[in-house]
Amino acid sequence: MPRHKAEVLDTEDPARGIQLRVPCLTALDEDRIHRQLAGDEFFWLDLTAPTEAELERMGELFGLHELAIEDTIHVGQRPKLDDFGDHVFLVYYAAAEQARSAEGPLREVNLFLSGKFLITVHRDPLPALREQSKQIEGRVLHSEQFVVYRVLDALTDTFFPRLSAIDDEIDELEDSIIAQPTDKQLQRIFALKRELVTMRKVITPQRDLLARGIDTIAQLPGFQLDERDYFRDVYDHVIRISDLIDSYRDLLAGAMDAYLSTVANRQNEVMKQLTIIATVFLPLTFLTGFFGMNFAFAVNHVQNTLLGFLLLGVGSCLASIAVMWAYFRRKRWM
């Protein structure tokens, strides 16, 4: 299968394949693109927030399928790989750099891949791709597939920092819930669960996509897949991400149970205290009510002296409190 020049160096290593340099373009420069295509030189075009007119013009320059251009214009596609013969259209997702972005936790990236070029289109700036562009520009590479691997690997690895932050936040939530549960913690648990569900919706199809899409990429005209280890590495990373998402969902479920248990325990503690107070005042209410009745004998012979007031009035109340306190201590309710 023929290999594209892509600014081939003078030396050639049969063990590693043809060494090449891959230009990285960041704008729709038609003159430069025409020269690259005419020279049969593999290159990478990375576009950030292009207009609809620019996307349509890009489709004309590269001969891209109109359905792929339409999916690129209308974002929100499910991860997929469409084979159009001389090129493939790949919808892939990366994690947002900001933890609580207004656009959500994911960033959609549309990739067009052929034996002559790699095109990546995304609405928001992606530092991961910018960093890869800086590293690839001017670097000696041994195959086009290495560029594709670096791009997919960079997009996949954006999930790990966010998942690590979620792991730390779950630990903090569990500690704070035990100390003092609040409604804010409950809202944050629900927010993290929604974020993980959103990630799960794209990671699962991306995992399946990588499992079956390697052969599709290998069959592109002019694109030789000389090593599958690179894409197996990306596939392994996606599996790890999928496992981490499932683990963190279980941890959040545990945090939710801890929150509900802690709140229930605190409510039970409050109810126990209120019950003790009500129980203590029950005999006091009876005594004060009984001696508060104006019976002639009690008024004339019992409650008409200071000693009677102290013994029967105050003394009986203190005695009932002491008896109730001893009873509660014996039952270990206090």
What does the pLDDT average to over 204-226?
77
Please indicate, yes or no, whether residues 68 and 92 belong to a single structural domain of this protein. Answer: yes
- DSSP 3-state percent helix, strand, coil across the chain (nearest 5): 60, 10, 25
pLDDT at 183 over 60: yes
Q: Where are the alpha helices (DSSP H) in 159-228?
A: 159-179, 183-218
State the pLDDT confidence band at 212, using cuts at 50, 70 and 90: confident
Q: Model confidence over 235-277: pLDDT tens digits?
A: 999 999 999 999 999 999 999 998 888 888 777 777 777 777 7
Q: 162 phi and psi, to 5 degrees?
A: -70, -40
Is residue 3 in some structural domain?
no
In whole angstroms, what is the distance from residue 151 CA to residue 142 CA?
A: 16
Judged against a pLDDT cut of 50, whether residue 80 lies above it is answered with yes
How distant, in Å, are the alpha carbons of 52, 187, 224 from that of 123? 12, 29, 30
Query: Do 278 and 257 have their domain in common?
Result: no
- Residue numbers of the domain that contains 288: 266-330
- Total number of domains constituting the chain: 2
Task: Choose one of 262, 281, 313: the last residue of a domain.
Answer: 262
Does 310 lie in the same domain as 194?
no
Query: Which residues partner with 94 through β-bridges?
Result: 107
Are residues 214 and 181 part of one domain?
Answer: yes
Same domain, 278 and 154: no
Is 223 a residue whose pLDDT tops 70? no
- For residues 297 and 127, give the distance between their C-alpha atoms in angstroms, rounded to a whole number: 94
CA 328 → CA 40, 190, 273, 279, distances in Å?
Answer: 90, 41, 11, 10
Instruction: Give the H/E segment covering residue 24.
Output: strand 24-25
